Structure 1
Amino acid sequence: MNYSKRAFALTASAALAALPVFAQQTTPSAEDTVELDAFVVTEMADFADQAILGTTPVAFTTFDKEQITKELGSRDIPLVLNSAPSIYATEDSGGAGDARVNVRGFSQRNVAIMINGVPTNDMENGWLYWSNWDGLGDVSQSIQLQRGLSNTSLPMPSIGGTLNIITDPSASEAGGSVKTEFGSDSFWKVTGVFNTGILEDKFALTVGAVHKEGDGKFDYGWTKGEGYYLGATWFVNDTNRLELYGIAAPQQHGQRFDANIAVWSAKEAKKLGYTDAQIAAVERFNNSPRFYGSGPVDAGFDFNSNAAPVDPSYTGQQYYWGGLHNRYDANFMNERVNYFNKPQVNLNWFSELSDNAKLATVFYWSGGEGGGSGTYGSIQRYAEGTSLVQNYDWNATIERNQNRTPDANGELSSYGILRNSNNEQNTYGIISKLTYDFSDEVSVTAGVDWRTAEIDHYREVRDLLGGDYYWYTGNDFDTTDAQRKKRLGDKIAYFNTNTVDWLGLFVTSKYNSGPIDAFGTVGYSNIDYSYLDHFTDVGGGEKLYAEANGLDGAQIKGGISYEFSEQFSAFVNAGYVDRAPIFDGAIDDSTGQLVPDPTNETYTSVEIGARWATPSENFWISANAYFTTWRDLTGTDVDEQADIVTYQRGINSDYNGIEIEAAYAMNEWVRFDAAASFGDWTYVSDVDYTQYTISTRQQLPSNGDMLYLDGIKVGDQPQTQLAYAVTFFPTDGLSIKLQGRSYSNYYADWDVFTRNNPNDREQSWKIPSYTVFDLHVYYDIPAEFGPFDVSLFAHVFNLLDETYVSDASDNSQYEGLPVGLAGTESHTAQSAGVFFGQKLNWNIGARLRF
């Protein structure tokens, strides 16, 4: 970011933040404290642009603290959202924190995810890893998912929706709670939260801590982690309040790759049309390098090809998080381990400048340190016919490294090692919103959203597997043998530093008069990217550097709702977003080269909806329809072996659908809930692409190269979804909820770059429809236990032990049978790589409040 824009951002933020003057240093009375406590909740929800039922003209679903408490059950946060329409969240591989969520056919790269109104998506590519937020569900006051463009004022891409998590404000009453949980696969977790209450009518503090461990939901899929939370409030005076929030969740867990269906289960493979010859073909190829993510036939649903036993006599330590550590278990070794800690700290300043003006400012920092492990170099594999079904033979690898001829210094160079792919980042930001009420009906909010991030990407030596060093010559700045000997913690493969500087400006106007509520938002964003390659010498000792500056984006959106009566209301909203490219759309992160002619993507959206309720609100139903276009999607595909990089521009797709939600409280003992969504998400045009050589950056001649996408359905989320539940309240404090979900019209995820054959117009593999049920039991025991309140809970997920495919990749390069082998056809179950959904699993526990 150039200095003039950085100075402008800081000046604008400081100007907004400096407006209040602490002139009234009065201490709130007891009556004032009650008002201030209400002010806490209202201001945070307002700052985070949370939608209000019957008022905000957008489609949304809110999960309050009670629902989160009764249904989440130590799962990743997105999994509680599956009862809402057009939301599809899965556990993916089943690793702790590896969940993903799609909204209206868009992955979470295009869903704005915020904590207390602060964006948390990766500033380079929009992704988010839920393992970074373990324990957040325990301190969440509410989770709201606004589908579509939403009413969020920040000018950030949120075409799929906006997920906003609000944590508990500091409690006004002293007390706390301790919760213990146990579950399948030796899982256990303990959570403690303590509140000071209001101290001296001015201060309040909430602290929380979480610890969890477990063997994992698949072989060698162990999990271990902690979570920490702090929330503090200081009532400076009647008109100013400061809040400090901090959260961190360092964790580690084993991971695994997807596999061919026949690897998981030969029985399921035959159900899906495999022939005996195709199953035999999977068996023959399971030790081929092409099948490094697969395994032998019928290995079982708990199979993990990315870990294997190791002789405990090997005591070599592993390097990560800046130090040496012992393996999680001396008897096995994981190829794939995820480890990360992403703390976030917010300092919030809420101020009433006058009866008509208020200011809300958040200063925040988000760090990040960690990554994932894998192999590097030559690793020994188990020979065919051995009793072990894993991919790698760690003992043979260690033996080969240790038997290598020593160098002149008597040291051993490892043939193959374990490496870490690391990400270290620091993000600083300011969001400031100044709101002025021109009248009881009209208010205007103007604000600034400034963020800057520096991210290091590199690989490092994790485990030398019996050797003393790994010989690496890929760093141009290593000029001696000593420098090329890479030991534990030394960087290999790549080392890049990326920066992202973001400046957003926005103005939102709201109107409320009688039955009419409306809002309108305009926003502008400007992004600068830079890339520095620490391994590549471009001449004279100068490192490879690239920057892309002044990438602009804009948005305009608005909506109006009308309350025809106390029972019936309707809304309409529309918007247009011009989105600047993500990092890889401007700078090719794998080569460090500028992308030719980076282009903006555009979204347009129109949505209409209505809600009707009975006078007693014991029955309500809401429905909405949306019409969304996504234009000029860009992408990059790198083939380093062929020395070719491919750029595509102008991919277009349409997303249309209907969503319905309803609830009926029959009486005080029974309640019914239902949600349904019917989508039609399709690519609508073929596009051409261009190719360049990586080494020379010369454009290759075009032969009419095209990607043939027109009419192909969007994959990775079911386009028809149903959710339904019945809840019983047989006695005071007891609820029993049976929840079901049915999915169909589900096309496997697919890569647009594979669609380069004009004769291939078939849809990706259609995943079989499935239904799954969960059971949730929660009991607030009414009996007295002195100063304590006791709650018991139990969850059974996949109650009927259904077997189903939850995630799939069409024509998988590594896990699918090659087209033509044993009669395998394209876009079929045989050519896919999949994960199956988790079998029946459970979680039980107790909570003690004091």
Structure 2
Amino acid sequence: MKKMYIAMVVSLMSAIAFSQGTITGTVLDGELNEPLPGASVVVEGTKTGASTDFDGNFTLEVSEDSGTLVFSYIGFVTKKVSFTSMGSIGEIVLQPDAEELEGVVVIGSGLIDLAEKRNTPVAVSTITKSVIQEKAVGNVEVPEIIKSTPSAFVSGQTGFGDSQLFLRGFDQINIATLLNGQPVNGMEDGRVYWSNWAGIADIANGVQVQRGLGSSRLAISSVGGTINLVMKSAEREKGGFVRMMGANDSYFKTTASYDSGINDKGWSFSVLLDHWQGHRKWAEGTFGSGQTYYFAAGYKPNDTHAFNVLLTGAPQQHGQRWSQSEEILEANPKFNQHWGFTEDGIESERTNYYHKPVFNFNWDYTISENSELATVAYASWGRGGGTGPRGFGRIRTADPDGDGPLFGQVDYAAIQAQNTAAGTGGSRDDVYIRRSSVNNHQWYGLVSNFNTQLNDRINFSFGTDLRFYTGDHFRQVADLYGLTGWTGDRPDGATVTETYNPTPWASLFNFADEGQRIDYDYSENINYQGIFSQIEYAADRFTVYAQGALSNQSYQRTGRFEGEGLGESEKLAKIGYNLKAGWSFDIAENHKIFSNVGYYSRQPFLDNIFVNIRESNDIFDNPEVDNEEITGIEVGYKYFSGGFKANFNFYITDWDNRVITGTDVDENGTPDDDSDDIFLNIFDRGVRQIHRGAELDLEYNIQGKLRVNGYLSAGSWQFDGTSDVAIYNDDTGQLVSENPGTNREGVKVTNAPQFTAGLSFRYQALEALSFDGNLNYFDRLWLNDGASVQVENVGYLDSYSLTDLGVTYNFALGENQLSLRGNVFNLFDEVRIQQSDRFGLFNTNGITYNVSLRYNF
């Protein structure tokens, strides 16, 4: 019996000894090839973990002889490594954030020009998926997370999706925006409407901001920089999440997403659905609502081919606020004169509504070990527009402050009674309707790129960029408010009786036919063909590259109103090109210098070619509108050691022969009577701007627990020389005045601050608890003096700072996770004027907050 007892004890101890053991290893920084102290090592699905020591080594006691280790470090890609025995697992290499963005590109990697794919550096900042999911969701938009990068400025307008982005003093018209490698900027005018991309935060794997020349090989001109929006494809990993969010001003958002993972036949599927709505975005009358849908299917039949098809869209509608005078903002910063109450609730005469389904098909073809071909065919169908008043019979409620600067709200009940009594009305009668300015388009394109590694040191690529675009522009009646018809807004004098609901879903198929359109009706056709190429030589310490692109773009307008540009215009074609080159040199261990230079000959936007795009087929021909000329030079220095990184950049951008268009109103000597106002179109041609500046950004990781980032940027952006100004009557197209040789020498560029600084941090307080925040400072934002064309400096706005804070707590629910996230933006409620224009002043949003609960499975 005693022998049996001893045998049982020995057997039990052997089993315990067999099931317990030690795993060791070393964690390295993949960029610096140095030990990574403070990295976290955890056995997946348990709380068993350890941290690496100063030399990157770790020792971990485990109770199973097989499993998976999870390695993580702030600012680096999380990595999973399986083990099947005890002992050393060797070196584990973690890649930094920049590589994280490259690593999540499952398909289309040959088209998305990430900075890391080229050895010669550019000035770049990367925002990873985790940061986007934490900060750019709900009532905060994607441009907001870009503000904490050097020389970036986001003007947070007070309507959902109305933010404006600036890089190095250039607005988003002159910042190339790419979605999975396909161009996003409008073909007609270069604009990016972030309201159309409200769902990008939910489906983005990352955003990369390349300031200045950037690394894009496409035949596009990045005057201020390039923004790469990396959208997820059908995910190869199985899982999903459900998230609910609440925020100030009755904002609510709910999202559900699921990825099937790749099956044994090579198929994978992903779906995401989302709905949001808000009573207002801080300012009065800026309600909003919308949805996001995303469907993707991937197929990888073998190691040679990979396919992905997706359909996504973000239909939305939101009330807007136009610029306000400083006097009004001082009386009530949230004031908005464009809204009122109807039986259905809040209605805004200024409502933006749009629905832009986007479809693309990706094909990645691995030709050989050294060569690949990546192709995307895409299409988008934009439907929607913006509403506004028509007629001079607007009625308002009583002024809220008596004789003060504020207006009353739009009194829709009184307008209804007035219009019902009138019966029918025209544009100059004492009646009031709401019209929609419709902007429908069809856009088809293809981008293809062949890349080959010629030898160990030389990489070569060649590709093509094709685009076919048609934009339809007209006005239709959104609401007659009791009128039986609307007259006087058509050249044939016909009465319009149909109305069209200004909502994003209705706008897909329900818009006015030619017989029910008012004010103007025309189309624009733009065809674009481009080729591009790059070659790079990379030795051990030295790299050099050259890029070139050539494009042809044709323009044609088709008018449909008799006497207002009827029929097709002359077809005009323009050739454009760009050339870029650069080099880098590792001057010593952890020290690198680089330089890039580029020249662009950019075709003018279609809106700058026609004398009066809404009313005429006439093209400027005396003189003809020539290409814009952009020259960019930048030099940089990079230092990295341990957990510290520093980047310094100096740049000069010379932008010549620019065309600036604008509008104005001649009150005809009667400022209180809108009925005789004359609306004007302004063409400022031959404009030259020179932007100079320096940027410094720093990053410091402390033992894997704290990451601190800082930046500083200073610029001198101003006009140079003279330009030719012509002002036209918007209704007749007649030349009102001409001012050749208008002197703009030394006039500062407005709309963006020429000095910015910031500090941000992320602190992992506990394994499940983290804190983050940022402070941004803005100064030297020059004022617009209110003139049609500014010819002198009038000072700048007061400097201001914004503070944001966030906290995340993760709960373990078995193998799944529940995350609680809270954000406070503009913590100290700094309500400051942050931008000026010729008609008034914009102010910052006040304090904004949101709280979300996300269940990952």
Distance 1:435 1:647, change over 3 A: same
Distance 1:762 1:537, change over 3 A: closer
Please say which of residues 117-126 and 150-159 is displaced more in the overlay: 150-159
Match of 1:633 in 2: 658
Q: Distance in 2 between matches of 1:391 and 1:415?
A: 17
| Alpha carbons 2:358, 2:381 under 8 Å: kept | yes
1:122 to 164, 186, 191: 186
1:493 to 489, 511, 519: 519
Please say which of residues 512-521 and 715-724 is displaced more in the overlay: 512-521
| Alpha carbons 1:414, 1:465 under 8 Å: kept | no
Secondary structure, in 3 states, of the residue corresponding to 1:747? Answer: coil
Q: Distance in 1 between matches of 2:732 and 2:419?
A: 37
Match of 1:567 in 2: 590
> Does 2:601 match 1:578?
yes
> Does 2:246 match 1:182?
yes
2:802 to 772, 784, 801: 772
1:376 to 390, 398, 423: 390
Secondary structure, in 3 states, of the residue corresponding to 1:606? Answer: strand
Match of 2:635 in 1: 608
Match of 1:426 in 2: 442
| Alpha carbons 2:102, 2:116 under 8 Å: kept | no
Distance 1:455 1:308, change over 3 A: same
Distance 1:643 1:87, change over 3 A: closer
| Alpha carbons 2:397, 2:409 under 8 Å: kept | no
Match of 2:704 in 1: 668
Q: Distance in 1 between matches of 2:443 and 2:108?
A: 22
Give the 5 Å matches for 1:682-761: 682-690=718-726, 705-749=740-784, 753-755=788-790
| Alpha carbons 1:244, 1:346 under 8 Å: kept | yes
| Displacement of 1:72 | 2.1
Match of 1:762 in 2: 792
Q: Which amino acid aligns with 1:238?
A: D
Q: Which amino acid aligns with 2:638?
A: R
Distance 1:357 1:363, change over 3 A: same
2:550 to 524, 528, 534: 524
Distance 1:333 1:698, change over 3 A: closer
Question: How many residues align structurally?
Answer: 720
> Does 2:197 match 1:133?
yes
Secondary structure, in 3 states, of the residue corresponding to 1:459? Answer: strand
Q: Distance in 2 between matches of 1:419 and 1:644?
A: 20
Q: Distance in 1 between matches of 2:728 and 2:798?
A: 40
Q: Distance in 1 between matches of 2:785 and 2:288?
A: 30
Q: What RMSD, in angstroms, separates the aligned Cα atoms of the two structures? A: 2.6
| Displacement of 1:698 | 8.0
Match of 1:620 in 2: 645
> Does 2:853 match 1:837?
no
| Displacement of 1:646 | 5.3
1:599 to 599, 616, 626: 626
Secondary structure, in 3 states, of the residue corresponding to 1:536? Answer: coil
Match of 1:11 in 2: none
Q: Distance in 2 between matches of 1:523 and 1:185?
A: 48
> Does 2:380 match 1:355?
no
Secondary structure, in 3 states, of the residue corresponding to 2:336? Answer: coil
What does the per-residue CA deviation read over 1:126-176, in whole Å, with 9 as the maximum and x for residues that have no partner? Answer: 001111112211221110010012111111121100000112233222111
| Displacement of 1:353 | 1.9
| Displacement of 1:337 | 0.9
Q: Which protein is bigger by CA-based radius of gyration?
A: 2
| Displacement of 1:364 | 0.4
| Alpha carbons 1:110, 1:160 under 8 Å: kept | yes
**TM-score w.r.t. length of structure 1:** 0.80
Distance 1:639 1:719, change over 3 A: closer
| Alpha carbons 2:423, 2:483 under 8 Å: kept | no
| Displacement of 1:55 | 2.7
Q: Distance in 2 between matches of 1:471 and 1:845?
A: 50
What does the per-residue CA deviation read over 1:303-323, in whole Å, with 9 as the maximum and x for residues that have no partner? Answer: 22100134x2xxxxxxxxxxx
Secondary structure, in 3 states, of the residue corresponding to 1:400? Answer: helix
Q: Distance in 2 between matches of 1:657 and 1:38?
A: 29
What does the per-residue CA deviation read over 1:702-734, in whole Å, with 9 as the maximum and x for residues that have no partner? Answer: 6x6442211011111000000102322211132
Secondary structure, in 3 states, of the residue corresponding to 1:68? Answer: helix
Q: Which amino acid aligns with 1:601?
A: E
| Alpha carbons 1:70, 1:777 under 8 Å: kept | no
Match of 1:824 in 2: none
Distance 1:441 1:54, change over 3 A: closer
| Displacement of 1:699 | 7.2
Q: Distance in 2 between matches of 1:358 and 1:463?
A: 54
| Displacement of 1:517 | 2.7
Please say which of residues 243-252 and 515-524 is displaced more in the overlay: 515-524
Secondary structure, in 3 states, of the residue corresponding to 2:169? Answer: coil
Unaligned runs of 5+ in 2: 1-81, 83-100, 501-511, 666-676
| Alpha carbons 2:490, 2:518 under 8 Å: kept | yes
Q: Which amino acid aligns with 1:470?
A: W
| Alpha carbons 1:684, 1:711 under 8 Å: kept | yes
> Does 2:824 match 1:796?
yes
What does the per-residue CA deviation read over 1:395-422, in whole Å, with 9 as the maximum and x for residues that have no partner? Answer: 2221111112679xxxxx9922111111
Would you tell me which structure has more strand in proportion to its own residues? 2
Distance 1:576 1:684, change over 3 A: same
Q: Distance in 2 between matches of 1:565 and 1:426?
A: 53
Identity of aligned residues (%): 28
Match of 1:436 in 2: 452
| Alpha carbons 1:414, 1:470 under 8 Å: kept | no
Q: Which amino acid aligns with 1:305?
A: Q
What does the per-residue CA deviation read over 1:95-141, in whole Å, with 9 as the maximum and x for residues that have no partner? Answer: 11111100000000000111101101100000011111122112211
> Does 2:113 match 1:49?
yes
Distance 1:635 1:591, change over 3 A: farther
Give the 5 Å matches for 1:424-573: 424-476=440-492, 488=500, 489=512, 490-537=516-563, 543-573=566-596
| Displacement of 1:742 | 0.4
Q: Distance in 2 between matches of 1:487 and 1:795?
A: 42
What does the per-residue CA deviation read over 1:209-243, in whole Å, with 9 as the maximum and x for residues that have no partner? Answer: 11101111222211110001123211132211111
Distance 1:692 1:242, change over 3 A: same
Distance 1:517 1:209, change over 3 A: farther
Distance 1:38 1:473, change over 3 A: closer
Q: Which amino acid aligns with 1:505?
A: I
Q: Distance in 1 between matches of 2:732 and 2:774?
A: 58
Q: Which amino acid aligns with 1:612?
A: Y
| Displacement of 1:576 | 0.2
Instruction: Using CA pairs under 8 Å that are at least 6 residues apart, name the structure with larger relative contact order, 1 or 2.
Output: 1
Secondary structure, in 3 states, of the residue corresponding to 2:196? Answer: helix
**TM-score w.r.t. length of structure 2:** 0.80
Match of 1:277 in 2: none
Q: Distance in 1 between matches of 2:197 and 2:364?
A: 25
Distance 1:565 1:345, change over 3 A: farther
Q: Distance in 2 between matches of 1:89 and 1:673?
A: 19
Q: Distance in 1 between matches of 2:410 and 2:416?
A: 11
| Displacement of 1:534 | 0.9
Distance 1:39 1:264, change over 3 A: closer
